Amino acid sequence: MEEQTRSIIQQSLDALMDNKLFLPDLKEDMRVKAFKSLNAILSTPNQIHKSFLRLPLENGEVVRIPSYRVHHNDALGPYKGGIRFHESVNEEEVTNLAFLMTLKNALHNVPFGGGKGGIVVDPKSFSDKELHRICVKYVRYFNHVIGPDKDIPAPDVGSGEREMDWMMAEYKKINHGKPYLGSFTGKSVANGGSLGRREATGKGVYFTFRYLMHDYLNANANNLSASTNPFAKTALSYANRPLTVAVQGFGNVGSVTALEAYKCDYIKNKVVAVSDRNATLYNAEGLDIPALVAFTASNRGDLPSTEEQLSSAGIIATIQPREDILTMDIDVLFLAALENQLHDGNKADIKAGIIVEGANAPTTEEADNYLSQKGVVILPDILANAGGVIVSYLEWLQGRETQFFSEEEVHNQLIAKMKHTMDTILPQYFGDPFPLRQNCFIHSVMRLSTVLYRQGKLY
């Protein structure tokens, strides 16, 4: 991951070096030195914080749990990023995710820097009381680096509004008399959270796809039809016809994305497959997504994985291995699980012509290059899954002002923000041969570099 991070920064800076409109005051040797400074600053985190949480278990044992909080860059504002609860969490992963948060905030013009947290646990292996202790310990161990104007955590894989409520309560207790509502986002509405926050990422993921395939293509069809750009040809080949959709992952992001697709009146798409950690469910005629959402709500988030469960829920589907969803013969694949799902080992078997990344880093660099060369349209994580951090910003803002938006106001601001980004990036994507991910990276690096230069941090 570290090599990939450095590659992203280097390629973006190489593309900007010869652009004379970018930082025009920097010339010759001064320009070379400034770009070297940018490379060094952006390819490394500012701080990596690590602690081992001491956790007394209910059976009387005591365990030590590795945990992290990484601060990548705060040129644009306080650090911002989720706390991941997962047994695979490690320092390199959290550092890379913090880096991606920096770029994501820069791309969408959200006034935050990039941060990320992680706790090495399988939350389903602990009782609610033990999970509460983990949350309390995390805040105690990292209290010195988090806060409304320093670093604002949020939910991530394995965590949700319950954990954020617990953490904010502990932060308030430790920092008595100080502002606390903005210390964590993704909280419950009753505890100062924003309406629409839980659904924000999934709604943003599907909107990104819908805006491209419906709004943007219809408005620019004449110009794009004459384009030799391979991505334009692919996108147009899927426009205005029925589409089959598969959604990998059925948590907060995947379930909302699938439901948005199921309800969409703009595009004729049907969700034929969904998957989670246990299995893939497939129905060529389309799955009953509302019924699946209802089932997971009462089964700790798990999809039906037996014929008995399908029958009791009234759902018609065949059960297949969970990996099958990635290589199915479908039009659109939404990736809403974990990182590194499309990789060197399965890239040649991917049949979807459009891939939308709801998870962070679900496609490796090798798979991304291979699929892009084939003309596959990939809507990358940095663009598609920013709904969470955008609404987190709105929640943070509401907490500071103690005035709260309606769900409709939150949704409208989310869509407006993502539409503005799409309108900025898509013309570049269809106007040059760069994949969309690279266009997004270049735009983010350009904004970060301009701010760092103006702040005098390159000398």
Instruction: Kindly list the structural domains of the chain, giving each domain's residue range(s) and its CATH number in brackets, ordered by start.
Output: 47-194 (3.40.50.10860), 198-385 (3.40.50.720)
Task: Kindly report, residue by residue over 252-267, the tens digit of the pLDDT.
Answer: 899 999 999 999 999 9
Task: Kindly report, residue by residue over 153-168, the tens digit of the pLDDT.
Answer: 999 989 999 999 999 9
Task: Kindly report, residue by residue over 320-337, the tens digit of the pLDDT.
Answer: 999 999 999 999 999 999
Helix H or strand E encompassing 47 = strand 47-56
B/e letters for 145-164, b = 16+ CB within 10 Å, e = fewer, are ebbbeebbbbbbbbbbbbbb
pLDDT of residue 1: 56
Paired strand residues for 81: 153
Q: Which of 116, 137, 187, 417 is catalytic?
A: 116
Please say whether the beta carbons of 186 and 152 come within 8 A.
no
Pure H helices in 114-182: 128-142, 161-174
Main-chain phi, psi angles of 80, to 5 degrees: -145, 135
pLDDT of residue 6: 81
Predicted model pTM: 0.89
- The pLDDT confidence band at residue 300, using thresholds 50, 70 and 90, is confident
- Assess whether pLDDT exceeds 60 at residue 411: yes
- The pLDDT confidence band at residue 356, using thresholds 50, 70 and 90, is very high
Q: What is the mean pLDDT of residues 359-366?
A: 91
Main-chain phi, psi angles of 113, to 5 degrees: -95, -170
Coil, strand or helix at 452 = helix
pLDDT of residue 157: 86
pLDDT of residue 432: 74
pLDDT of residue 87: 95
Task: Kindly report, residue by residue over 1-58, the tens digit of the pLDDT.
Answer: 567 778 889 999 999 998 889 999 999 899 999 999 999 999 999 999 999 999 999 9
- Assess whether pLDDT exceeds 60 at residue 363: yes
Q: What is the mean pLDDT of residues 176-194?
A: 94
Coil, strand or helix at 154 = strand
Q: What is the mean pLDDT of residues 135-152?
A: 98
pLDDT of residue 5: 75
pLDDT > 70 fraction of the chain, expressed in percent and rounded: 99
Pure H helices in 89-196: 91-107, 128-142, 161-174
Main-chain phi, psi angles of 335, to 5 degrees: -105, 110
CA distances for 430 relative to 17, 152, 386, 435, 453, angstroms: 22, 36, 21, 9, 30
Catalytic-residue membership of 137: no
